[in-house]
Structure 1
Amino acid sequence: MSQLLQVGEKASMRDVFGEVLLNITKKDTKAVVLDGDLANSTKTDTVAKGNAAQFLQMGIAEQNMMGVAAGLASVGLQPWVCTFASFITKRALDQITVSVAQPKLNVKMIGAYSGLLTGCTGKTHQGVEDVAIMRSIPNMVVLAPADGVELIHMMEFAHQYDGPVYIRLARDAQPQIFDIETHRFELGKGLFVKEGGDLTIITTGTQTERSVEAARLLEKEGIHASVLHMPTIKPLDQEAVVKAARETGAIVVAEEHNIIGGLGSAVAEILGEQYPTPMIRVGVQDRNTESGKNEDLLKKYNITPADMVVKAKEVLSRKR
């Protein structure tokens, strides 16, 4: 397990990612890392420094990088392609779709700096559409860890899985939610991190920690919310979604992503077909974003725990 993770402390996913990726390449000579000239930001420079023979610097040429990854996978290697989420999912989309996903090649795609909180890099570097894009592609697995502990397990899964995988990573340090010794990741399975009978907050990635905080705020007002964390966005745990809807009768979906096409849309699809239930999506409301400090952005785009409390009360008013 990562030496960066200490109980009760925050850890940066990118730091954990770099450390674990180096270990994977040292254990497996078929694992190779492709970087899009962002190694110091994504922490793939850990591999560049520690195992240079399995590191390829591809420059600012994401389409070519993905084509090279497809070629490497076709001869039995396992490419780990890493750049910002906004670049990998939009600049190289044709290559991902045609060259990687259609033949179901064994390529691991890492979308670093996803969501709003990208460290004042500018709005072009924010990735709030990546989940919508990637989950629409056949054969694609889409994952979003809540913390560094879960990321370790996801990377171990991705290393063993034969096929294309997209992992969505955040830039900044996140609180450790899961226990490093007991947590397990299973593809396509959600996890109830809090139980409550009044409504369910369904969430993923970095928004899970904020959803737990929203549930605590609701608790102070006598409202008991379950929090269902979805580390796998595709394939989504349909059984858990329906279970939450059946048991609580009201759903809030919270994500650091555009409300169109992301986790909220995926949940709405399931509920619409299987168990219609009052629900509200909390996320970026289909608008262009802007660069800024983390707390300012969370407030401006209404995805703070306090915003989730407001939406929880709204959906409860519609509960049958």
Structure 2
Amino acid sequence: MSLSTREAYGIAIESLGDKYDFWVMDADLSKATMTHLFGEKFPDRFVNMGISESDLMTTAAGIASCGQMVFASTFAIFAAGRAFEQIRNSIAYTGLNVKIAATHGGVLIGEDGGSHQCIEDISLMRTLPNMTVIAPCDEASTFSAVEAAVKVSGPVYLRFGRFPAENVYTEGHVPFVVGKGNVIEDGDDVVIFAIGDMVSNAIKAAGMLAADGLSAAVIDMHTIKPIDKELILEYAFKTGAVVTAEDHNIIGGLGSAVAEVLAENPHAVLRRLGVKDTFGRSGKRKDLEEYFGLTSKDIYEKCRDAIASKNPNK
């Protein structure tokens, strides 16, 4: 296990604070979002807005309108949900240079329960014009994702998890190009496009398929918007079977983004794995993973179904 992506985010902005000139803002959750690390090192560039997420976003927009980049951090449910109008009209509509760093995304955040388990944030954010949407999968990729977001001129939504993430990448620099997925493993029988915690589960599923004599490609589709259409079509054509995996509502997230590409360029059977249009529940992470069908075994079974659908003999 490595750090959680939220912890990696906190360390990343602290370390990048010497290299880049940006402000960091929070809404009374700096210990949870890990922005307190930046605040302790750069107090003159850190603002805690208190429990006022809408004010957080509009104030971030105001600072950005003066030419200053801002990272605005809170839980995903409050960022994408409570402050949606402010993000839409004050940040996305104006194209301001605000990076919305949202932690505790998805149902795999544990006992916070359905009210705080945000399953619709990717859907909401990717429908906004001018918005880039990124969801890194582990500690190393988070460092690269945060710096990549700094280099994007305009609004970015970054999604982070709560618990330690399994290492997908070796320590050091992770190749990270906004809008370009990373091929983790190559394969010919099926391709799995995954984000966040589901990338490590996809790798495990590929191992299970290999034991069956089947070859699975695993792709970290860290940027949901702009989606890597070329890579999707390349592997759809190559494998004929596509599976998406995400800790997000099955509607509107990664699966929908991939489906939109394939609908216009039909090359493959598609199966989507995610939260099945239902709210979250309180429970231990492992129990929630099993309850919502987000395990490596669930991904494996989706892959077998997709392969069978394209070729009844497999």
Q: TM-score, with normalisation over the residues of structure 1?
A: 0.94
Q: Of 14, 25, 38, which residue of structure 2 is paired with 1:47?
A: 38
Partner of 2:17: 25
Q: Of 278, 286, 304, which residue of structure 2 is paired with 1:295?
A: 286
Partner of 1:181: 172
Q: Quote the Cα distance in structure 2 between the aligned partners of 1:211 and 1:282.
A: 11
Q: Quote the Cα distance in structure 2 between the aligned partners of 1:191 and 1:26.
A: 28
Q: Give the residue type in structure 2 aligned to 1:305.
A: S
Q: Quote the Cα distance in structure 2 between the aligned partners of 1:39 and 1:122.
A: 21
1:274 aligns with 2:280: no
Partner of 1:12: 4
Partner of 1:147: 138
Aligned length, in residue pairs: 311
Would you say the 8 A contact 2:113–2:280 is kept in 1? no
Partner of 1:3: none
1:203 aligns with 2:198: no
Deviation, 1:289, is 1.3
Q: Quote the Cα distance in structure 1 between the aligned partners of 2:131 and 2:216.
A: 31
Structure 1 gap segments, 5+ residues each: 1-8
Cα RMSD of the aligned pairs, angstroms, is 1.2
Deviation, 1:182, is 4.9
1:74 aligns with 2:81: no
| DSSP 3-state at the match of 1:124 | coil
Partner of 2:125: 134
| DSSP 3-state at the match of 2:227 | coil
Q: Give the residue type in structure 2 aligned to 1:175.
A: E
Q: Quote the Cα distance in structure 1 between the aligned partners of 2:84 and 2:10.
A: 24
Partner of 1:5: none
Q: Give the residue type in structure 2 aligned to 1:13.
A: T
Q: How does 1:103-142 map to 2 (within 5 A)?
A: 103-142=94-133
- The CA deviation string for residues 62-99 of structure 1, in whole angstroms up to 9 with x for no partner, is 11110001100000111110000111001011111111
1:283 aligns with 2:270: no
Q: Quote the Cα distance in structure 1 between the aligned partners of 2:209 and 2:82.
A: 41
Identity of aligned residues (%): 38
| DSSP 3-state at the match of 1:79 | strand
Would you say the 8 A contact 2:239–2:268 is kept in 1? no
Partner of 1:190: 181
Q: How does 1:162-177 map to 2 (within 5 A)?
A: 162-177=153-168
1:92 aligns with 2:92: no
Q: Quote the Cα distance in structure 2 between the aligned partners of 1:54 and 1:81.
A: 12
Deviation, 1:23, is 2.3
Partner of 1:265: 256
Q: Quote the Cα distance in structure 2 between the aligned partners of 1:33 and 1:183.
A: 24
Q: Give the residue type in structure 2 aligned to 1:21.
A: I
- The CA deviation string for residues 130-187 of structure 1, in whole angstroms up to 9 with x for no partner, is 1100000000000011111111111111112210011110111112211333521001
Deviation beyond 3 Å, 4+ runs, structure 1? none
| DSSP 3-state at the match of 2:224 | strand
Would you say the 8 A contact 2:27–2:53 is kept in 1? yes
Would you say the 8 A contact 1:25–1:54 is kept in 2? no
Deviation, 1:15, is 1.9
Would you say the 8 A contact 1:26–1:51 is kept in 2? no
Partner of 2:239: 248
1:101 aligns with 2:92: yes
Would you say the 8 A contact 2:140–2:173 is kept in 1? no
Q: Quote the Cα distance in structure 1 between the aligned partners of 2:125 and 2:94.
A: 16
Would you say the 8 A contact 1:208–1:229 is kept in 2? yes
Partner of 2:50: 59
Q: Give the residue type in structure 2 aligned to 1:10.
A: S
Partner of 1:306: 297
Partner of 2:219: 228
Q: Quote the Cα distance in structure 2 between the aligned partners of 1:61 and 1:240.
A: 40
| DSSP 3-state at the match of 1:158 | helix
Deviation, 1:296, is 0.5
Structure 2 gap segments, 5+ residues each: none
